[in-house]
Amino acid sequence: MGLINVTINNQTIAVEEGTTILEAAKKLDIRIPTLCYLNLEHVKTVNGSASCRVCVVEIEGRRNLAPSCATPVSEGMVVRTNTLRCIKARRLVVELLLSNHPTDCLICEKNLNCELQSLAAELDIRRIKFHGVRATHEKDISSKAIIRNMDKCILCRRCETMCNEVQTVHVYSAVNRGFDTFIAPALNLPMDKSICTFCGQCVSVCPTAALTVVNEARDGGHGKNGSCS
Ligand code: SF4
Ligand code: SF4
Ligand code: FES
């Protein structure tokens, strides 16, 4: 495989063909914020859904911003990761996600441990800019191990990658399209009727509280009485 020269924020590096801008930036110690991206190096699996567009960058000569996690470098490519345009685009993405997300961080299971929350803080988002119809779903508290709260799902598809490609159990897939899309076991069955083995790996990669483990003390019986929402 040949080497490709790419310049990111005025620093040039030679990387292997097929390397993404995000990976090349990492080699230069340049951090690009991400949300859906997940690199499970130990099992050689990447969640490359490129669904969130948080990682967008500017490429010289291209009109549109590009998702750095899914864009391979090409010879002589010149990239900027921190322009005002990139930052504004990232903010817009997160503001739109927040407009369809419950705003109960203080009593959320993932408070202070949520990637969406940290990203909003990093981008200095201090208000919900867009108010509209929110997608709402019944919380799945059927299992003794995992709670599914699709109101908090950001459709990153990490759980699908983990369950389908790594664990090879194939529990999850997307149901419906567009605004009505959500992630569910086949036939939209509740977790306790699905083929889930309750290994918990999907919960460990979920960036928000869309998938959480049942905590008997807190949830008082599968989330039925507790403050989790
Ligand atoms: S807990 Fe169930 S749904 Fe989650 S990764 Fe394991 S088998 Fe798949
Ligand atoms: S349930 Fe979690 S991991 Fe799965 S798509 Fe939604 S936010 Fe991502
Ligand atoms: S992190 Fe690149 S598109 Fe989501």
**HEC string of the chain?**
CCEEEEEECCEEEEEECCCEHHHHHHHCCCCCCCCCCEEEHHHCEEECCCCCCCCEEEECCCCCCEECCCCECCCCEEEECCCHHHHHHHHHHHHHHHHCCCCCHHHCCCCCCCHHHHHHHHCCCCCCCCCCCCCCCCCECCCCCEEECHHHCCCCCHHHHHHHHHCCCCCEEEECCHHHCEEEEHHHCCHHHCCCCCCCHHHHHCCCCCEEECCHHHHCCCCCCCCCC
Give the pLDDT of residue 226. Answer: 39
Q: Which ligand is nearest to the CA of 174?
A: 2
Is the pLDDT higher at 33 or at 221?
Answer: 33
pLDDT value, residue 221: 53
User: What separation in Å is there between the alpha carbon of 159 and the centre of ligand 2?
Assistant: 5
The answer on pLDDT for 14 being more than 70 is yes
Domain assignments of the chain as residue spans, ordered by start: 3-82, 90-219
3-state DSSP helix/strand/coil percent for the chain, to nearest 5? 30, 20, 50
What confidence tens digit (pLDDT) does each residue in 155-182 have? 999 999 999 999 999 999 999 888 889 9
Distance 16 CA to ligand 2 centre (A): 31
Per-residue confidence (pLDDT) for residue 220, from 0 to 100: 63
Q: What is the pLDDT of residues 83-115, one digit of tens each?
A: 999 999 999 999 999 999 998 999 999 999 999
**Which ligand is closest in space to the CA of residue 158?**
2
- Give me the mean pLDDT over the 109-138 stretch: 93
209 lines ligand 3 (CB under 6 A): no
CATH T-level topology, domain 90-219: Alpha-Beta Plaits (3.30.70)
What ligand 1 atom has the least distance to the C-alpha of 200? 1
Average pLDDT, the chain: 93
Distance 114 CA to ligand 1 centre (A): 20
Taking CA atoms only, the protein residue closest to ligand 2 atom 3 is 206
CATH code for the structural domain at 3-82 = 3.10.20.740
Q: Which of 47, 142, 143, 163 to probe ligand 1 with, by most ligand atoms within 8 A of CB?
A: 163
pLDDT score at 32: 98
Confidence of residue 229 (pLDDT cuts 50, 70, 90): very low
Q: Same CATH topology for 3-82 and 90-219?
A: no
Percentage of the chain with pLDDT > 90? 85
